[in-house]
A = this chain, B = another copy of it.
Amino acid sequence: MKKDKPLILVTNDDGISAPGIRALIAVMAEIGTVVVVAPDSPQSATGHSITINDTLYINKISKDNDVIAEYSCSGTPVDCVKLAVNEVIKRKPDLCVSGVNHGSNSSINVIYSGTMSAAVEAGIEGIPAIGFSLLDYDWNADFEPIKSFIRSITLEVLEKGLPESVVLNVNFPKLGEKEIKGIKICRQAKALWMEKFDKRKTPQGRDYYWLTGEFVNQDHGEDTDEWALANGYISVVPVQFDLTAHHAIQKLNTWNWNE
């Protein structure tokens, strides 16, 4: 690790006032110089959405003599990362951490997650990045048991650096600190959401829907994040943003594309 304190950008998708990001800020403040740029309202499930058809606002929340500079932003988590790098700190931070998300971003959830999309955006821009999530959707979730693990994972990443074009997706089981068995490097389990739409009528009689669903894990491999979390481990999945299915290229080349 550098002798100088690392500059750490903190963001999330639950919004700047969420207890999860407050816990993350507290841990990062012990490690480095912290700048927070996070959404001014909840942005869960915004995926890798960016704001191109609307204006973006940034508000400085912290006072000028506060140790930690905090900014709320009207955009998505990905917008927050872009604005932070370009307009707020005006350089690449040494690390970007996102979360702690209230609820799981394991398995296929990585693709819907604003928390992880912020980390992926940082990764695209060449910034080492980690997304943290706790398997507890409650606004009053207890983040104390995971703070020491967040600290040790962050220090490890700052010391070793991450492989090129890879960010980390870290999920914590909802357990006491002593009950957590350790950290496992995993692959993303194959799973999906089986949707159920809750159909209702407006007071004026028009049909509308709420999206709900059930998470279905189709993958019982013991090297998956779902297995690790179900068995008391913290899951760490290295995530990439080259979406090419390289294994499929050879097969597709046997098709009659140009006849």
Contact = CB atoms under 8 A, between A and B. Distances in A.
A34 interface: no
A151 to B, nearest CB: 13
Given A45-B49, A243-B240, A251 B163 contact: yes
Contact of A46 (B42, B47, B79, B153): B47
A56 interface: yes
A257 B157 CA distance: 10
A110 interface: yes
Interface stretch (A3-11, A23-31, A139-147, A205-213): A205-213
A120 B253 CA distance: 21
Contact of A111 (B120, B185, B207, B237): B120
A157 to B, nearest CB: 9
A87 B252 contact: no
Interface centre among A44, A86, A125 (most CB of B within 10 A): A86
B244 A185 contact: no
Contacts of A53: 42, 44-45
Contacts of A154: none
A255 B152 CA distance: 12
A55 B208 contact: yes
Given A192-B124, A208-B55, A238 B249 contact: yes
Given A49-B47, A120-B111, A187 B242 contact: yes
A156 B240 contact: no
B45 A187 contact: no
A209 B49 contact: no
A135 interface: no
Given A49-B49, A82-B195, A257-B236, A242 B188 contact: yes
Contact of A45 (B50, B188, B259): B50
A74 B237 CA distance: 34
Interface in A159-213: 160, 163, 165-166, 182-183, 185-188, 190, 192, 195-197, 199, 206-211
Contacts of A46: 47, 49
3 nearest CB pairs, A to B: A47-B48, A238-B248, A240-B245
